[in-house]
Chains A and B, each alone.
Chain A
Amino acid sequence: MPELLVSILVMSFLVLGVTAIYLSNQRAYQRGQTQTETHQNARVGLEMLARELRMAGFDPLNQIALQTTPSVFQAATADRVTFLADVSGDDTLDRVTYRQQSGLLLREFSSWNGSAFPAPTVEVIATGLTSFGFAYADGTQPTNVPLTAPVTGTTLWDIRRITATIRIEGQTVTGQAAAYDLSIDVRPRNLV
């Protein structure tokens, strides 16, 4: 009988220990998983942003000329960029905005209906942003000259290069804060 008690005692300690280790590992694993997913989303989101920015000005039916301000870039500030391009490839001009709002990277999309851009649909592209910024430069060769954000008025016509930098909050598995930086550098192909 005493052996049974002792062995139960030892066993329960063991099970408790193993469970504790398992749970902590599980937490670390979940945290890592969440973080990987955040990073993955951010990476894919930035890749999407890069592709669409590269196509900025893709206008197969020449609909930019119909706009009140017929410039490819409609707005260009440090945390927001709005441009015109048929990113969906349906021969209809689209207005696309990427902007940051309380730690989220948002994409607004609206397709030209012949007379206006209707209210955009908004989707979340990436989460967990601690900082997000656009920088702009003109097409001067051999080195692009930076344009100070916000870029406004006629200077919007000069944009030839966009850099987007994104920082995502995160933790290491041991719980220490860690940042994850990503950036893209895009030269729109439709601007000469």
Chain B
Amino acid sequence: MNMTSLTRTDRESGSALLLALMILAVLLLLGAAFLSSSLSERSIAVNQTNAGKSFNIAEAGIEHTRALLPTTDIDALLTAGGTMFSNQPLDEGRYSVVVTNNIAPAFPRGTVPIDLGGATDDTDNYVVLESTGSFRAAERTIEVVVEREFTPFTYGLYGRDLLRLGGSGEAHGTVGSNADIEFTGGTPAVIGDADAAGTVTDPTYVTGTSTSGADAQSLPDIPCPTTPFGGVPVGPGVGFDPATGDLNLTGGSDKTYAGGTYYYRDFKKTGSGAIIIPIGQKVTIYLSRELDVGASGFINQNGAAEFLQIWACGSDDSNWTFGGGAPTWLTIYAPNHPLTMTGSGDKHGSFVAGDLRTSGSAMYYYDPGLVIPGDRYVIVPGTWSDSGL
């Protein structure tokens, strides 16, 4: 053993530890830097995912509200502050939806008018929805104006100027009028409710609730098609004058319609032949003047009123008559025309006219299939916006 080696051993002992510590420190630093960068990458990705989720949750809030609005008392909701949902949980997020009326100063705005009913009375069927979706730290707001879609077919029988129920037939479902409801036939006349903006003259004819002074329905004129008159059913005894647009169906043979839209001035049907709407064929008929259907009338083989629709277009107000011995399914919308419904064939669907009178032994059944596609709130184009992140 000599001094040199002794001294070196003394001086070098512990250097490995120092070296190891230094290397460890460097590695730790590198590791921490790497970790922080990948953590920040991760948080960017997480933020983006959360933002996407909060958007979808906000949209779910809009859809949920739109689904509930048709069965909601809008004025009561507006009076109560308009909160449709408050922190409604969905998955791990939540949405809050507020309904407001389209009032000043924000409205009128673009294509959306101002509701003169004020903050708590929705008179024009437009409302504003604001839905905020949140997921973890992310939050996103969607704002949109929705409008109740025009649906004239919410009543079995509806007379704008008068509804008079005569004959021995009964009306099943709700009937209504923007004026009075009168009864001249057998009792009961209405198996269901009767809503009159005027008065229900004798509630004993009504099995359900009779309401006088109900809200009047908006029954706007429908514009006529811009296409020329035409389109005819197939079969013998079909007379059509393209110059006047008058269709005259006569004789004892059946006539068959193919699915599509038809447009006439006058529609007249006599003779014992029926007019057939085959299964799967949806027929829409626009009339600018008169309807007179007698004898066998229409046979709608679909058994659903939406497959045969007769619309009065323009502002003509000539008398309409609809009869027929066979049961049928259809809708009639003719708010300007006095309409007399006769015949022994049961009629399923919805009938809206000016002065609407029933006679004969036919039963009237409201077709509940009509209300589902119509009664909904649709987005007003050009009003949908997303706040972004």
Contacts and interface: CB of A to CB of B under 8 A. Distances in A.
A-B interaction:
yes
A58 B111 contact: no
Interface stretch (B169-177, B224-232, B257-265, B381-389): B381-389
Interface in A87-120: 89
Given A33-B37, A36-B41, A40-B44, A60 B378 contact: no
B388 A190 contact: no
B22 to A, nearest CB: 12
A60 B109 contact: yes
B382 A57 contact: yes
A59 B382 contact: yes
Contacts of A89: 385, 387
Contact of B383 (A44, A47, A58): A58
Given A60-B109, A61-B110, A192 B379 contact: yes
Nearest to B140: A51
A119 to B, nearest CB: 25
B88 interface: no
Interface in B343-389: 378-379, 381-388
Nearest to A40: B44
Interface string B108-133: 01110000000000000000000000
A61 B383 contact: no
B110 A59 contact: yes
A29 B387 CA distance: 36
Interface string B92-112: 000000000000000001110
Contacts of B387: 89
A62 interface: yes
Contacts, number: 50
Which secondary structure dominates chain B's binding surface? mixed
Which secondary structure dominates chain A's binding surface? loop
B318 interface: no
B386 A54 contact: yes
Interface string A24-50: 000001000100100010011001000
A64 interface: yes
A58 B385 contact: yes
A5 to B, nearest CB: 16
B48 interface: yes
Given A40-B41, A51-B388, A192-B378, A60 B383 contact: yes
Contacts of A62: 110-111, 382
A189 B37 contact: no
Query: How large, as a class, is the contact surface on chain B?
Result: 20 to 34
Contacts of B51: 47
Contacts of A64: 382
Contact of B382 (A40, A44, A51, A190): A190
A168 interface: no
A58 B388 CA distance: 14
A191 interface: yes
Interface string A148-192: 000000000000000000000000000000000000000001111
A160 to B, nearest CB: 12
B80 to A, nearest CB: 27
Contacts of B37: 33
A57 B387 CA distance: 15
B386 A60 contact: no
A89 B140 CA distance: 14
A58 B109 contact: no
Interface in B1-50: 34, 37, 41, 44, 48
A127 to B, nearest CB: 17
Contacts of B52: 47
A141 to B, nearest CB: 13
Interface in A50-89: 51, 54-55, 57-62, 64, 86, 89
Interface of B: 34, 37, 41, 44, 48, 51-52, 109-111, 144, 378-379, 381-388
21 contacts: A36-B41, A40-B44, A43-B48, A47-B48, A51-B388, A55-B384, A55-B385, A58-B383, A58-B384, A60-B109, A60-B382, A60-B383, A60-B385, A64-B382, A86-B385, A89-B385, A189-B144, A190-B382, A190-B383, A191-B381, A192-B381
Given A40-B44, A47-B52, A191-B381, 9 more contacts: A47-B51, A59-B110, A60-B110, A61-B110, A89-B385, A189-B379, A190-B381, A190-B382, A190-B383
Interface of A: 29, 33, 36, 40, 43-44, 47, 51, 54-55, 57-62, 64, 86, 89, 189-192
